Amino acid sequence: MNNRGSSAERSLRLADRAGSAERLTRRHFLAQAALAGVALSAGPALADDMIKLPLAGEPRERPVTNDFPQKGSMILQRTRPPLLETPLEVFDRGVFTPNERFYVRWHWAVIPTSVDVSAFRLAVRGHVNQVLSLSLDELARMPRVELAAVNQCSGNSRGLFMPRVAGAQWAHGAMGNARWTGVRLKDVLDRAGVKAGAIAVRFDGLDEPVVPDAPDFKKSLLIDHARDGEVMIAYAMNGEQLPLLNGFPLRLIVPGWYSTYWVKMLSDIEVLDRPDDNYWMTTAYTIPDTPYASITPGQTGVKMVPINRMVPRSFITNIETGASIHVGAGTIVRGIAFGGDAGVSKVEFSADGGMSWREARLGRDYGKYSFRQWETDLSLSQAGSHTLMARCTNAQNVVQPSTANWNNSGFMRNVVEPTQVRAI
């Protein structure tokens, strides 16, 4: 994890204990009792509550649901386990995704419907000097930190892969950006005392497999990454407690990495003195060890590695494909971008399908792992069809590609996405 620790203090800062009202206070955090009897299933949406997604194949329509706890209007990709997608229009409203519109993705359907905060304990064990069983009260007493970071599903935009691949057919809404509040993982590990020879740290949550012989969902990080000072354990997002479906009471935050590592309902931390060979690290969530994790459909014999760092992406958020724009009328085009595991250096805009580009204006920088808004002016001089595009370059000079990648899992799409409009 080269040079990750050197930027920790720039990206992850101590939160002001006497700070603004938007931050979750310790008293408020501990005062919240269990979320008892919360239903995690939703009935079919009404026939007229449907949305058409820009997917590569049919069916393109999905129900829109308001039936999940602590969630507003969401695109229903799957009921059990819950897979809820954020409508793209939400990203046009600001840099931070509201908690009630933040996407949801679980692997197993056995999810606790309540958590007793007074009885909950976070275990820290394995290759350590002292086994810990930390209450939420004890965690709340530790130095508090805050970080703005994008959480993005590895399969975000999988529904645009051609040829089609198996898995949830997400459009672009399996992502979100939040201010995460909690404690450094490093501080928790240091409290336990990591023994010499530690290789990795493995994380487990309260969710369980639906059948006894299915592999429990666990993820791990190499020890240097886990202790880099940026990885954190969050108990709040956007100044409020984590919603149940987004991991209440604790969630691992791995900035710049795909959300498969952001273990929800975190309850167990195990320091390993050996490589982690569990299913979710060696078989699931692996990608071709090739540029852009891309291979040719049907290609075999490719070396696979665990998915890891995110790559830069950008989206137009205020104009949809199929929109009409008046010839000669001044229009503002805006959107969001993120650099993956590095900050946004620039966003470029094209109104002619990528033949020419110009830099857009960047909004406020909330940190290298956050969404960043951008905007530019547009005036179309000729009637007819036009292709609008946005392209992000990150601080490591990694640029979004013009050609889509492909792999069997539908992971890591970050091609420049076109928005087709008509000038009238």
Structural tokens at position 286: 């692996």
The pLDDT tens digits of the residues spanning 346-363 come to 999 999 999 999 999 999
pLDDT per residue over 264-313, tens digit each? 999 999 999 999 999 999 999 999 999 999 999 999 999 999 999 999 99
| Percent of the residues in the chain that have a pLDDT greater than 90, as a whole number | 87
CB 186 within 8 A of CB 242: no
Please indicate whether residue 361 or residue 14 has the higher confidence score (pLDDT): 361
Kindly report the average pLDDT of the chain as a whole number: 91
Q: What is the pLDDT of residues 45-64, one digit of tens each?
A: 444 589 999 999 999 999 99
Question: Mean pLDDT across the stretch 380-401?
Answer: 98
User: Does the pLDDT at position 9 exceed 70?
Assistant: no
Render pLDDT for 203-242 as a digit per residue (tens, 0 to 9): 999 999 999 899 999 999 999 999 999 999 999 999 999 9
Over residues 137-154, the pLDDT tens digits come to 999 999 999 999 999 999
Interatomic CA distance for residues 295 and 274, integer angstroms: 31
Tens digits of residue pLDDT in 299-328: 999 999 999 999 999 999 999 999 999 999
Whether pTM > 0.75 for this model: the answer is yes
